[in-house]
């Protein structure tokens, strides 16, 4: 008996086509998975790349200005504090002048001078419009304070002013190195032999203290004041 197998070939073709379709679908499925995963990975990388510059920029921006702002004002406050301190010291120095009165012999804290045993006692008087120590204007202010005191007794501590009768005016003050030279006009008036050295001592020590020098010369209208005092009868 003869049999014809023509029906078995279409089955083989169908099976092969089904296998090809299955392989194609599997390949497409795998390719699609790779395509969907890479876009999700790419944004995360870009986000991390964009986040680190902004973080570093914000940190540097926030820390740098605050440091410079905090250090800059403190540095600029120092010159102004030094300038105000210097100005206050100068004003305080110019508001007072040193003068010397005559104290009784043996009084503590006094400066001895040739005479009858009395001593000089330092005092401070208020003045205005004068410079600091070493300025001729302060020398003049101190001497004028002596001349302005018209009483023999000064205060309540037994101090005396040997110049209370004198009619003197400061004509000029010159500071030459360690010497202050005082030009005076008018007439010194002395109460007696002991008053002569007292007048000289008051004038010269007051001038030295305000000039900041070591020596003084008192000049009268015609001759040095010590010579004028020694020649009077």
Query: What mean pLDDT do residues 206-233 have?
Result: 83
Residue 38 lies in a domain: no
Mean pLDDT of 193-210: 95
pLDDT band of residue 94 (cuts 50, 70, 90) is: low
Mean pLDDT, the chain, rounded, equals 72
Question: What is the predicted pLDDT for the residue at 12?
Answer: 39
Say if 143 falls within a structural domain.
yes
Which residue range forms the structural domain that includes residue 155? Answer: 94-231
Q: Report which of 174, 160, 164 is spatially closest to residue 119, judged by C-alpha positions.
A: 160
Nearest-5° Cα angle at 220, 119 to 116: 20
Q: What is the strand order of the sheet 167-176 is part of?
A: 167-176, 179-187, 215-219
Assess if residue 148 is contained within a domain. yes
| Tokens 């300025």, located at residue | 135
Task: Tally the domains of the chain.
Answer: 1
Lowest average pLDDT, out of 38-42, 106-110, 122-126, 194-198, goes to 38-42
Residue 17 scores a pLDDT above 80: no
Give the predicted TM-score (pTM) of the model: 0.60
Q: What is the mean pLDDT of residues 50-60?
A: 42
Find the angle CA(87)-CA(88)-CA(92) to the nearest 5 degrees: 120
**Centroid of chain to Cα 175:** 29
Distance, CA of 123 to chain centre = 30
Mean pLDDT computed over 30-58: 42
User: Is pLDDT at 34 greater than 70 in this prediction?
Assistant: no
Q: What is the pLDDT of residue 96?
A: 96
Is 79 within a domain?
Answer: no
User: Both tokens of residue 135?
Assistant: 């300025």
The angle at the Cα of 216, spanning 213 to 219, to the nearest 5 degrees, equals: 145
Give the Cα separation of 163 and 167 in Å (integer).
8
Tokens 């790349």 belong to which residue?
A: 49
- Residue 65 inside a domain? The answer is no
The C-alpha atoms of residue 157 and residue 18 are separated, in whole angstroms, by: 136
Q: Is residue 4 part of a domain?
A: no
- The mean pLDDT of 83-107, rounded to a whole number, is 73
Is residue 105 situated within a structural domain? yes
Residue 61 has pLDDT above 60, yes or no: no
In order of 81, 90, 113, 132, 136, the CA distances from 212 in angstroms are 27, 15, 19, 10, 10
Higher pLDDT, 14 or 198: 198
CB contact at 8 A, 216 and 208 = yes
């Amino acid at each position: 008996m003869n049999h014809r197998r023509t029906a078995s070939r279409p089955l083989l073709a169908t099976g092969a086509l089904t296998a090809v379709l299955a392989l194609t679908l599997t390949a497409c499925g795998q390719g699609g998975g790779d395509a969907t995963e890479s876009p999700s990975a790419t944004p995360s990388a870009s986000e991390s790349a964009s986040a680190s510059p902004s973080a570093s920029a914000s940190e540097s921006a926030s820390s740098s200005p605050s440091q410079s702002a905090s250090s800059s004002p403190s540095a600029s406050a120092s010159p102004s504090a030094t300038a105000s301190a210097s100005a206050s010291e100068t004003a305080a120095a110019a508001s007072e002048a040193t003068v010397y009165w005559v104290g009784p012999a043996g009084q503590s804290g006094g400066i001895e001078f040739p005479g009858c045993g009395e001593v000089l006692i330092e005092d401070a008087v208020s003045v205005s419009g004068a410079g600091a120590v070493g300025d001729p204007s302060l020398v003049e202010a101190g001497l004028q304070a002596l001349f302005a005191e018209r009483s023999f007794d000064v205060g309540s501590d037994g101090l005396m002013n040997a110049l209370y009768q004198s009619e003197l005016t400061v004509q000029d003050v010159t500071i030459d190195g360690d010497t202050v030279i005082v030009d005076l006009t008018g007439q010194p008036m002395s109460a007696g032999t002991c008053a002569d050295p007292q007048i000289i001592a008051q004038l010269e020590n007051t001038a030295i203290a305000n000039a900041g020098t070591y020596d003084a010369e008192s000049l009268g209208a015609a001759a040095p004041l010590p010579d004028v005092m020694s020649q009077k009868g």
